[in-house]
Structure 1
Amino acid sequence: MPEWAGTIGANARAARAAEALLSMDTPNPSQLRREPGTALHRQLFMVLRDQIAQGAYGVGELIPAEDALCAQFDVSRITVRRAVSDLEHLGLVEKRPGRGTFVRAVPRAQRPQPSFGLIESLGRQARETEVTVLKVETALAPPTVAQQLQLEAGAVAVHAVRLRSAHGTPMMVTDAWVPQEVGRHVTASELQKRALFEILMAEGIKFGRVIQEVTAVAADPVLAGLLRVDLGAPLVRLVRLLHDRRKRPVQYITIHFTGERSRVLMEVPAEAVNTMGAGQIVHDLELPEG
């Protein structure tokens, strides 16, 4: 890299840091909402997290001290400490005794390799996480589930709810339904040993078409408790409908996770750019005719 490139980069980082520090001279408490039910420490955490992501504070740079953050956002020390603690828990910052809190370098996952298909991805996910089986039952399929799995009204299906964690940190909650005829061996003991897709493959299922839908939702009391996030915190909801090679739906699964710990990665081949495989944004809004 040319010497001038490093100089420009250093100057740019210095300019961003200076801009961030100058903005502290004019407190802007309106950035935080103060209505009942809105946790100030969580809002402050998200503001600081976004500033770090946008480069306001570069790797190795100090974030503002407690007093400065208290003044800027008109919050208490305990609010600031809880927000910074959340940043530290995510590995975004580190405290150095007597020096302050510094931004850490956070390695990002490499893009998936072209050979990384759904089954490989599911296998990797199973290997890299620990599973807690929360529920396995044969139950009446809700109308939406019955429709997606092409079951008759009043039909039962196998229902499995699991929590996947990494090193003790909850990563995602999976809520899966499978038709009873292919879910005979889906039990709590089996799910402790094998992933659901492995159980289905052992039943002779060969996966084919997959439809996925990604939306954003607020954490309800159950999900907030399982994922250790605040009530109402934003979550990513991924709904996946898997078919077999005979085009029969064999699994309907809903996955919830926080964007602070996980991401959705996709790679679309050139030949699929103009197909549904590239994904679509669908607006759930009735537009006026004409």
Structure 2
Amino acid sequence: MKLPKYKQIASDIQGLVDTQKLGAGDLLPTEKELMSQYDVSRVTIRKALAELESQEVIVRISGKGTYINGSKARRNALELKGFLEDIHAQGKQPSSRVLDFKLTMADASLAQKLSIEINMPVYAITRLRLINDEPEILEHTFMPAMLFPELSIDIMNTSKYEYIEKDKGLKIALSRETVVAEVADQQLADTLNVEVGYPLIKVMSIGELEDGTCFEYSENYFTSKQFSFEIMARR
């Protein structure tokens, strides 16, 4: 089914943002210029802009114009990307701090999630993910040691996905994710620089390689101060 014209225009502008042809703070053409560019009415352009504004893609400032919004990084829940790739693509500065890195043995619950035997060695890694030096995500990740025997703190301070695909030559296929609401306890509050009771988004994910092998189980706590989730359903 063909999308309405205003949705096509909104999708076109979103595509320019996703491909970095438009970045945070860039000024969009005026309504009149967009009307001429797309050969549509002012009503159609305003509906397209309203669609983008509702998704926090743009911000309209009275008397100044319409700008690409730089206030929040966005994560497309249907498009699997690494944190660094996601944030760099949106004009922000991502970084990671490894808070804990150890080798442990998989208990029954973790073994089931990773499809491995109980007591097999796994890396247990805790990372703090930051956007523009502000804490945004606390990540607890478990990875089978047999897949990544040379895994190190240095590697986990950079891009996990880049290491897996470029250094190891493995192909990541998908991530099975469960999203729930959570409130910050004292430990989460201290780590993420929020108040106790602050509402968080908890995402539990199991990552699979192209051959079906599970390469990680992760629990991520998002503050959503600088990060929003996008789910797009098409009919």
Q: Same fold (TM over 0.5)?
A: yes
Instruction: Select 1:215's aligned residue among 165, 180, 194.
Output: 180
The code of the aligned residue for 1:155 comes to M
**2:196 matched to which residue of 1?**
231
* Superimposed CA distance per residue, residues 223-251 of structure 1 (whole angstroms, 9 cap, x where no aligned partner): 11111111222110011111111111111
Going from structure 1 to structure 2, the CA distance change for 1:176 and 1:133 (only over 3 Å counts) comes to same
- Give matches, 1:1-290, under 5 Å: 117-119=79-81, 123-125=85-87, 128-192=93-157, 194-201=158-165, 202-270=167-235
Given that 2:106 and 2:122 are in contact with CA atoms closer than 8 Å, whether structure 1 keeps it comes out as yes
- Cα deviation, residue 167, structure 1: 2.4
Q: Give the number of the structure whose residues are more often strand, by fraction.
A: 2
Q: How far, CA to CA, are the matches of 1:110 and 1:261 in structure 2?
A: 6
- Cα deviation, residue 140, structure 1: 1.7
Between stretches 127-136 and 234-243, larger displacement belongs to 127-136
Q: How far, CA to CA, are the matches of 1:110 and 1:136 in structure 2?
A: 27
Going from structure 1 to structure 2, the CA distance change for 1:121 and 1:172 (only over 3 Å counts) comes to closer
Q: Which has the larger radius of gyration?
A: 1
Q: Aligned residue pairs: how many? A: 170
Going from structure 1 to structure 2, the CA distance change for 1:261 and 1:143 (only over 3 Å counts) comes to farther
Going from structure 1 to structure 2, the CA distance change for 1:269 and 1:250 (only over 3 Å counts) comes to farther
Going from structure 1 to structure 2, the CA distance change for 1:169 and 1:199 (only over 3 Å counts) comes to same
* Superimposed CA distance per residue, residues 126-160 of structure 1 (whole angstroms, 9 cap, x where no aligned partner): 78311111111111224322111011112220111
Q: How far, CA to CA, are the matches of 2:169 and 2:80 in structure 1?
A: 17
Given that 1:235 and 1:258 are in contact with CA atoms closer than 8 Å, whether structure 2 keeps it comes out as yes
The code of the aligned residue for 2:162 comes to E
Given that 1:136 and 1:158 are in contact with CA atoms closer than 8 Å, whether structure 2 keeps it comes out as yes
RMSD: 3.3
Q: How far, CA to CA, are the matches of 1:263 and 1:199 in structure 2?
A: 25
TM-score of the pair, normalised by structure 1: 0.51
- Cα deviation, residue 165, structure 1: 1.2
- Cα deviation, residue 177, structure 1: 0.8
Given that 2:82 and 2:159 are in contact with CA atoms closer than 8 Å, whether structure 1 keeps it comes out as no
The code of the aligned residue for 1:181 comes to M
- Cα deviation, residue 190, structure 1: 2.0
Going from structure 1 to structure 2, the CA distance change for 1:269 and 1:184 (only over 3 Å counts) comes to farther
TM-score of the pair, normalised by structure 2: 0.62
Given that 2:75 and 2:86 are in contact with CA atoms closer than 8 Å, whether structure 1 keeps it comes out as no
User: What secondary structure does 1:222 align onto?
Assistant: helix
Going from structure 1 to structure 2, the CA distance change for 1:121 and 1:269 (only over 3 Å counts) comes to farther
The code of the aligned residue for 2:225 comes to E
Going from structure 1 to structure 2, the CA distance change for 1:110 and 1:158 (only over 3 Å counts) comes to closer
Structure possessing the higher relative contact order (Cα contacts under 8 Å, 6 or more residues apart)? 2
Q: Unaligned regions of 5+ residues in structure 1, if any? A: 2-58, 61-105, 271-290
- Cα deviation, residue 120, structure 1: 6.3
The code of the aligned residue for 2:160 comes to L
* Superimposed CA distance per residue, residues 172-198 of structure 1 (whole angstroms, 9 cap, x where no aligned partner): 111111111122232112222x21112
Q: Unaligned regions of 5+ residues in structure 2, if any? A: 1-30, 32-60, 63-68
Identity of aligned residues (%): 19
The code of the aligned residue for 2:142 comes to W
* Superimposed CA distance per residue, residues 242-269 of structure 1 (whole angstroms, 9 cap, x where no aligned partner): 1111111111111101133322122345
Given that 2:72 and 2:228 are in contact with CA atoms closer than 8 Å, whether structure 1 keeps it comes out as no
